[in-house]
Amino acid sequence: MLPPPGAGLGWGLLGVVAFSFTVPFTRVAVGGLSPLFIGAGRAVVAALLAAAALALTRQPRPRGGQWARLAVVAGGVVVGFPVLTSYALTTAPAGHGAVVVALLPVATAVLAAARGKERPPASFWVLSAVGALAALVFASVQGGGFGRLHWSDLLLFGAVVAAAIGYAEGGLLARELGSWQTVSWALVLAAPLMTALTVASAVQRPPSGTAAQWAAFGYLAVVSMFLGFFAWYRGLAIGPMARVSQVQLVQPVMTISWAAVLLHEELTWPTVIGGAVVITSAAVLNCPPSSGGLGRLLVGGTRGVSRRSKSMIDERRAVNHRRGLAEPSGSTSEQGS
């Protein structure tokens, strides 16, 4: 059974909501815990949960080249993004850290289109750039802007590249292994390295934090590093990845809103207006082709529908292959429609 229209966007949005707390909670955690301990330790906790889930459900192990691709995913979203953002947020406020999220949708879309051989029309890229620019202006107004390029900005730029690579490769791999299985195997693969880094950090600076800081660490480990990817990779697997990735445009709005509530960072009318612009950009970008007008223009008319259907069919074939089922009849005609 094919997922209903818009399922990819729905799952993607659920993942974005989970991820939107990552920057504020990282900012809370680094107030008392080492950034290396936060970046590596949260992956160790998530890896324990992942290993238990894989064992209890008796998931088949990845094969051949899938391990190398899992290493790419792990390097991006298990090692790169958490560690780099943890160090960056020791000095950068959460509002400024949201700038990295504003750049992530376009970076993910570019890599997803290239890696997944998707061909969005030129109008999609133009409006993606407009949406990213709106998100950047919005986050910069609230976070103080880039101004001079500090070392924390370089870390944030590195984090966005790492995350985009992990998202794009993970979205493709989720079509073969499953959404939660992909992030789980990536966590298990990276566990030895992250355990060593956690131990080294704890020896150098024994972890000591308040209840709020440990609670923030717990969220980062269980939700940001594990459960959030269930929804996110599910959405990317249903696809089309280039469109689903644009749901991230609303993440800076959510992130700075949580920062205002949790960290008491200033929330002004320009922030509210900028947030509305970002959300509108994401809504226009993800307008379904059946609505005509902008929706048909953005996804390239019937070609966009075909690409979306093909990605769903590919996922169904992969699931059937894992279950040992025969390919459903009529799939060839569906693909050619």
List the domain boundaries for the chain: 8-202+214-322
Token pair of 253, please? 């709005």
CB 161 within 8 A of CB 86: no
Residue 40 amino acid letter: A
Model confidence at 138, pLDDT cuts 50, 70, 90, reads low
Q: What is the pTM of this model?
A: 0.74
Per-residue burial over 37-73, b = 16 or more CB atoms within 10 Å of its CB, e = otherwise? bbbbbbbbbbbebbeebbeeeebeebeeeeeebbbbb
Given a cut of 60, whether residue 72 has pLDDT beyond it is: yes
Q: Considering only 52-61, 95-104, 197-206, 230-239, which range has the smallest mean pLDDT? A: 95-104
DSSP 8-state assignment for residue 263: S
If we measure between CA atoms, which residue out of 37, 55, 9 comes closest to residue 184? 55
Mean predicted confidence (pLDDT) in 33-38 = 93
Report the length, in residues, of the chain: 337
Give tens-digit pLDDT for 209-261.
899 999 999 999 999 999 998 888 888 888 777 778 778 778 888 888 888 88
Model confidence at 291, pLDDT cuts 50, 70, 90, reads very low
